[in-house]
């Protein structure tokens, strides 16, 4: 028994100087993107995230009555969803004390 290998069974490869631009074998070069763009985005994100968290916490004081109404009197569902993460965080005693003191300061100011 002799195994016969057909060398012509491999798929055809297009020439490099082919003039057909719609050939599926022809690849287009993608421009290289500078990695500094990603680094700038990451640095902006890391700089803005703590600032946004602080502003989110600070907004709870002036928004307290809207927040209270949304939780206890069927008020705005948006406000309820907006401050839900802070409500969950307030279950931690240390965080709850800080938020309570801050809201009390706003209520009595």
What is the SS3 assignment for the chain? Answer: CCCCCCHHHCCCCCCCCCCCCCCCCCCCCCCCCCCHHHHHHHHHHHHHHHHHHHHHHHHCCCCHHHHHHHHHCCCCHHHHHHCHHHHHHCCCHHHHHHHHHHHHHHHCC
Q: How many domains does the chain have?
A: 1
Band the pLDDT of 27: cuts 50, 70, 90: low
**Domain membership flag for residue 78:** yes
Over residues 31-52, the mean pLDDT reads 77
4 located within any domain: no
13 lies in a domain?
no
Condensed to tens digits (0 to 9), the pLDDT of residues 55-89 reads 999 988 888 888 889 888 988 899 989 999 999 99
d(CA 83, CA 59): 10
Residue 57 φ then ψ, to 5°: -65, -45
The pLDDT of residue 88: 92
Residue-range definition of the domain harbouring residue 86: 60-109
For range 41-63, the mean pLDDT: 88
Question: Is there a domain that residue 91 lies in?
Answer: yes
What tokens were used for 22?
A: 């719609």
Report yes or no on 11 lying in a domain: no
pLDDT: which is higher, 41 or 75? 75
In a domain, 103, yes or no: yes
């Amino acid at each position: 028994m002799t195994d016969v290998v057909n060398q012509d069974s491999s798929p055809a490869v297009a020439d490099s100087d082919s003039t057909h631009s719609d050939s599926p074998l022809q690849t287009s070069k993608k421009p290289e993107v500078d990695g500094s763009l990603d680094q700038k985005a990451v640095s902006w994100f890391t700089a803005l995230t703590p600032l946004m968290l602080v502003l989110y916490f600070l907004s709870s004081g002036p928004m307290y009555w809207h927040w209270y109404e949304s939780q206890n009197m069927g008020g705005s569902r948006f406000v309820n969803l907006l401050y839900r993460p802070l409500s969950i965080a307030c279950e931690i005693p240390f965080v709850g004390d800080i938020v309570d003191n801050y809201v009390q300061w706003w209520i009595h100011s």
